[in-house]
Structure 1
Amino acid sequence: MSTETYAVGGMTCASCVRHVEKALRTTPGVSSVVVNLATNQATVEGDATFEALAERVADAGYQLDRPTREEGAAGPEGDLGPARLRMGVALGLTAPLFLGMVPGLGIHLPGGLQALLSAPVVFWAGGGFFRRAARQARHGQASMDTLIALGSGVAWTFAVAEWLGGSHHLSFETASALVAFLLTGKYLEARAKTRATDALKELLSLAPPTALRLGPDGSVTEVPVIALQKGDRVRILPGHAVPADGRIAAGQAEVDESMLTGEPLPVPKAAGEALVAGTVVHGAALEMEVLAVGSETQLARMAHLVAQAQGSKAPAQDLADRISAVFVPGILLLALLTLGGWWWTQGSLALAWRPAVTLLVIACPCALGLATPVAVMVGLGAAARKGVLVRDAAALEALGKATDLAFDKTGTLTEGRPRLRTVQVLGGLDTAELLAIAASLERDSEHPIARGLVAAHGGALRPVEGFRAHPGGGISGSVAGTAYRLGSAAFLGVAFPTEDPDGTSVGLAGPTGLLGVFVLGDRLRPEASAVVARLRGQGLRLHLFTGDREAPGRAMAQAAGIDSVAAGLRPEEKLERIKALQASGAVVGFVGDGVNDAPALAQADCGIAMGSGAGQQGTGAAMAAAPLVLLRAGLEPVLEARRLADRTARIIRQNLGWAFGYNLVLVPLAAFGQLERFGGPMLAGLAMGLSSLTVVLNALRLRR
């Protein structure tokens, strides 16, 4: 039994996902299926051949293709140009059709011109609705596309009949507006969908595209990373990322593993120790033996975790898609019964088709299609002004329903960079002098400790002679003719008088011995305690998931007011913790900022990325994996997002309630001919427009 991932063509909505899943699941030899609408991919486990799977999917009206990209690559971005063009043409050609409705203008376009303006909108811009409806009809299926195609097509045909019959009250705008409004909604959905694979691309981009491969004779050749093989030796220069997983063959340096642990301090590494693709070497060059390449690297496995977490969630299905299986056939059956009933009672097809057409037009789900996208669009603007970027309405709704909220530590609850806490003076120099010497020695270092000392000094730096870096230990150099060494206790060969288990101690030694000890450590965000207290007051259970050690993790959690702490977690372990909470029935939100948080952000019911936090490596991947991104520094936007989640969910429910209520009230009236005395299809078009306007105006309340 094997697991394969295939590309799927032709999917546009959650209904399509259900059809493809059903086709694949009923293929002999298939044990499980996951179809991901965001990446247009299907992951199939079983023994079925590709040919058998492709045949079943083709029978359902879709296409199954073998993946052409390398394993682990992100899905296609998608070209929004054609969708944007269709939307623009539809809106541009529809606008003149409403001139006759503007009081005081008195502009009434000739019927022929109205037909010419509306035809491209209905049959070119809206051609996709007709093609999908026809394909679904061939396979005995129906969806909202069916109603849209029937409604717009019948409305346009009816308008042509009115024009040819000499009527001055034409309804071309009804057909055009239906297509234009729905294409706008579809474009908004497509634009969001193209961003679904950004997390994978961000993750995979952490590994460099090339590597320095060492030949048997010691020569160095720059080669593409994809050309590396197990057993190759490569050289990694300071400041460069590790190209593959491997083991250090020669050299020692410090390695920034924040992409794995979330912790900003580099880890000392020496010969025989493991290196992971995407981590960054500092201080000295290393030679590495390659042990894993391509999809076997831990970085690729992390990308797979993100893709798996995105695909494992039920596809976002708005209410319109979920009931389409009943609503659409019901409307079609009702329209046929209306046509037959009136024909039988009146004895005239000419009289019978008006109520049936009115029913089809009034049942077209324009307001229904706008209910969610318009609310999300307005809510997105309101959220952005509050420092929250919203990418997924389902995740925003989940935040409003959340029972548990988990935080990463470094860069999320904390500021994510070492700051000077204390200076212990042991020699004849005062604190200011000790800081001036230490900061001068560290002036050219990219190490986080160096940046912390330079920032703490904040003044002019002195010239340094004979500077030398000692990877994994510290640095040395002369300031004003005096030799100094700065680094760990082991490097200096002394024992520090006190050690802070929650911080990092660095000593400064001169010719006479140890002169002073600097203690640096991360610091809780100033607003963290207040935000945590308010979230607890809302009934949320709060957790801290960190890759840091137990002691600093618990210290920060206690300072913030969080009782549940899990420390020393790798990315996959954070993901498993969230899965366990979800399995217990919890609705889980997760707040993080590093690439190590990307799988957890994707798995959570609502992932929230700190978009302007600590500047850690891989923050872009966390932002891409999360449906909510905090654009403003600090944790207060989490509270704003929670409040906005409640308001947006309420507006969407109101919009959907209005859209369905509109159909429930007017469809029966149309079927019994009660709308004919008020203009029939004309009234249907007006009512449809008013319904859409009501939905839009209601959504605009989110701006307040």
Structure 2
Amino acid sequence: MDRTFKVEGMTCASCLRRVEKALASVDGVAEVKVNLATEEARVVFRDRPADDAALARALEARGYRMAAEDAPADTSAEREALVRVAAAWACTLPLMAGMFHLFHLPWQVQAALAAGSAFGAGSGFFRRAAAQALRLETSMDTLIALGASVTWLFAIREALQGSPHAPFESAAALAAFLLTGKYLEAKARHRATGSLEALVRLAPVLAVRIGPGGDEEVPTRFVQPGDRLRVRPGTACPVDGTVLAGRAEVEEALLTGEPLPVPKGPGDGVIAGAMVHGGALEIEAASTGQDTWLSRLARQVAQAQGSRAPAQDLADRVSAVFVPAVLALSLLTLAAWWWHTGHLAEAWRPAVTLLVIACPCALGLATPVASAAALGTAARNGLLVRDASAMEALARATDLVLDKTGTLTQGRPTLADVAGDPDTLRLAAALERPSEHPVARGVREAAEGLPVPEVEDFRALPGLGVEGRVEGRWLRLGSPAFLGVPFPAAPAGVRIGLAEGDRLLGTLTLTDALREDAAEAVADLRRQGLRLHLFSGDRAEAAQALGASLGIPDARGGCAPADKAAGVQALQAQGAVVAFVGDGVNDAPALAQADAGISLPGLEAAQAAAPLNLLREGLVPLLQARRLALRTRAVIRQNLGWAFGYNLVLVPLAAFNLLDRLGGPMLAGAAMGLSSLTVVLNALRLRRV
């Protein structure tokens, strides 16, 4: 027996582990799995479910909150976070203006403003740090709370002793910068948490059920297995089922990757979300609700997201050792100087200097500020980043897997060749004028600008072709079986013939044309040293032919959604860091499984599993995303190098009291501010990428 809960307040991989430990400590809990991407905790019980209140209390003791799985989206938490960011900056900016002598505030006002930012807006840091301290745990919250409180107390002491400048702005800016970084990270992640629902929304919310009194429109959620449903042309199948009567062509490109509609007749299966063309179908519902193909796919995506190891912030990993080490070193400094001088007042100064100068402001800012700058640049370049760790994975990628239909190709039939009578295209476009079939759209687009006549007595035969009277001639357009006239099939795509009676007038070949920038983009990616792969749901021959034309040796066709995800997993098992680029629902499991999933514009549901969403057409934005990822990684490394170097150099100087002559704790506060400013300015360079 198991239950799923929403957990509020998780911000990093350390939070994930604490939530798991908190829930696992409740009596009756056998197993806990926490998904940071969806902010959900799945709790498996031994015999009977544990009391919800006990689970909630366990989470609250660690600083987190529990909500029911079906609870409405809580926007108040996001509003509260934004208010805290605004309040922190409202308190900080006047103090920073005072640093540059724009005006001077009484120290009592400065102390109140700094307290408002650090202890008011940043109270969450202190609350979580206190809860962790009770369990002898540390994190970045511990470092932030310690640095802000010590800096504020030191500034109070300096002010009371008549110092012309008490570093209140350091305590205030620490909270303001970090709250801003946390808010931007959380906002990017929250945009993705509800997007899996887009998969299920591909199926219509209403279905036409055939009852004793005729057709009736009912909500799809009320449909039961065994119900008879009617699916009209131009609408999507509401559930998975089997065709009982009628013939039509069903477009499944977004679901399976097959670029052309598939003929369906009695006995054939259809899946929810597939679009019906050319005729109505009567189907018997087989799977409904959470049992449909789309719903199972959504769960598979969520599972892949949860199984992927989330990138753990380096600052969080270091903090587990860094905080105890700084505390121990500070106490050792206090004891050593007290023993050396015999005066506690003199020993206090180097100890406080060490604590202030070791404050992790730059360390905490190194990644989130660079990520925030990269997010803004990415948005201007048409890239929506839902998970900053995916940008790092894109920079580290060794292998890039590309989908075919809609990714390397345009995802729709395009006329490639016309043979036979010069009027073949014009007459074929006339026959296809009333049809909504994708092949018909391709023919009509190719005939734009030609004098296309009207068609009379039009009739469509799903899976075969169309016929009608054009300029007084009875013409038929379709497959060799429909025309009764043989002609060779196309090696790739589809070939249809135009006939009058038993005479073949001409043929039209339609293919899923290559994107204009595909060849250049693939060549550029190959020059970057990436190993390229092609996984397609289309026929193996079509995938291999395209792979050969682009120089992609590993081209696989006939891949179901699970096959693509398994292929990505197999590459990862070999040690590869895999980026996957796709645009269809059939790509969703692979997008989630990949270290960096990248969706192309189009279907919202395809973005559900992808932490990186390209918003502009073409593959050039993919190249820009890769360059931005590489530059972001370089800036983060520079920031972390500066933050660590700052501590490695100045902490020993503070411990040996070598900074006292230069200002002691005051210099420490200034150095801490300069360190943070350096990190921020370096990160802002990403705005020019």
1:535–1:214 distance in 2 versus 1, CA, 3 Å: same
Contact 1:570 1:596 in 2 (8 A): yes
Number of the residue aligned with 1:284: 279
Shift of residue 595, structure 1, vs aligned partner: 1.5
Matching of residues 165-564 of structure 1 within 5 Å? 165-215=161-211, 217-384=212-379, 386-425=381-420, 430-431=421-422, 433-459=423-449, 460-492=451-483, 494-511=484-501, 513-564=503-554
1:446–1:685 distance in 2 versus 1, CA, 3 Å: farther
How big is each residue's C-alpha offset from its partner over 1:166-195, in whole Å with a ceiling of 9 and x where there is no partner? 443222211101100111111111111102
Contact 1:606 1:627 in 2 (8 A): yes
527-536 or 57-66, larger mean C-alpha shift: 57-66
Number of the residue aligned with 2:88: 90
Shift of residue 457, structure 1, vs aligned partner: 0.7
Shift of residue 602, structure 1, vs aligned partner: 1.2
1:655 and 2:661 are equivalent in the alignment: no
Matched to 1:242, the amino acid is: C
Question: How far apart, CA to CA, are the structure 2 residues paired with 1:620 and 1:361?
Answer: 48
TM-score, structure 1 as length reference: 0.91
Secondary structure at the residue paired with 2:513? coil
Contact 1:182 1:370 in 2 (8 A): yes
Contact 1:23 1:56 in 2 (8 A): no
1:126 and 2:122 are equivalent in the alignment: yes
1:110–1:466 distance in 2 versus 1, CA, 3 Å: same
Shift of residue 652, structure 1, vs aligned partner: 0.9
1:49–1:174 distance in 2 versus 1, CA, 3 Å: farther
Question: How far apart, CA to CA, are the structure 1 residues paired with 2:29 and 2:398?
Answer: 36
Contact 1:544 1:566 in 2 (8 A): yes
Matching of residues 533-682 of structure 1 within 5 Å? 533-611=523-601, 615=602, 619-682=603-666
How big is each residue's C-alpha offset from its partner over 1:427-480, in whole Å with a ceiling of 9 and x where there is no partner? xxx32x221222122223322111110111112432222223322222222223
Question: How far apart, CA to CA, are the structure 2 residues paired with 1:437 and 1:537?
Answer: 46
Shift of residue 276, structure 1, vs aligned partner: 0.9
1:417–1:579 distance in 2 versus 1, CA, 3 Å: same
Secondary structure at the residue paired with 2:192? coil
Contact 2:225 2:285 in 1 (8 A): yes
Shift of residue 370, structure 1, vs aligned partner: 1.5
Question: How far apart, CA to CA, are the structure 1 residues paired with 2:665 and 2:49?
Answer: 49
1:286–1:631 distance in 2 versus 1, CA, 3 Å: same
Matched to 2:176, the amino acid is: A
464-473 or 120-129, larger mean C-alpha shift: 464-473
1:337–1:55 distance in 2 versus 1, CA, 3 Å: farther
- Which one of 646, 670, 674 corresponds to residue 686 of structure 1? 670
Question: How far apart, CA to CA, are the structure 1 residues paired with 2:69 and 2:581?
Answer: 34
Contact 2:5 2:69 in 1 (8 A): no
Question: How far apart, CA to CA, are the structure 1 residues paired with 2:76 and 2:477?
Answer: 53
Secondary structure at the residue paired with 2:591? helix
451-460 or 502-511, larger mean C-alpha shift: 502-511
Shift of residue 77, structure 1, vs aligned partner: 7.5
CA RMSD, 1 decimal? 2.6
Matched to 1:233, the amino acid is: R
4-13 or 305-314, larger mean C-alpha shift: 4-13
Question: How far apart, CA to CA, are the structure 1 residues paired with 2:360 and 2:414?
Answer: 57
Matched to 1:366, the amino acid is: C
Number of the residue aligned with 1:7: 6
Question: How far apart, CA to CA, are the structure 2 residues paired with 1:374 and 1:66?
Answer: 30
Question: How far apart, CA to CA, are the structure 2 residues paired with 1:422 and 1:218?
Answer: 50
Question: How far apart, CA to CA, are the structure 1 residues paired with 2:339 and 2:203?
Answer: 73
TM-score, structure 2 as length reference: 0.93
- Which one of 696, 700, 703 corresponds to residue 680 of structure 2? 696
How big is each residue's C-alpha offset from its partner over 1:556-582, in whole Å with a ceiling of 9 and x where there is no partner? 111111111221111111101111111
How big is each residue's C-alpha offset from its partner over 1:208-267, in whole Å with a ceiling of 9 and x where there is no partner? 22222232x143333222222222222222222222111122222111111322223211
Shift of residue 164, structure 1, vs aligned partner: 4.2
Shift of residue 498, structure 1, vs aligned partner: 1.6
1:140–1:564 distance in 2 versus 1, CA, 3 Å: same
Shift of residue 286, structure 1, vs aligned partner: 2.1
Contact 2:236 2:272 in 1 (8 A): yes
1:207–1:356 distance in 2 versus 1, CA, 3 Å: farther
Identity of aligned residues (%): 58
Matched to 1:490, the amino acid is: A
1:643–1:12 distance in 2 versus 1, CA, 3 Å: closer
Shift of residue 404, structure 1, vs aligned partner: 1.8
Question: How far apart, CA to CA, are the structure 2 residues paired with 1:630 and 1:566?
Answer: 24
Matched to 2:453, the amino acid is: R
Contact 1:6 1:64 in 2 (8 A): no
Matched to 1:97, the amino acid is: L
Shift of residue 95, structure 1, vs aligned partner: 0.6
Q: Name structure 2 gaps, 5 residues minimum.
A: none
Question: How far apart, CA to CA, are the structure 2 residues paired with 1:648 and 1:64?
Answer: 33
Number of the residue aligned with 1:102: 100
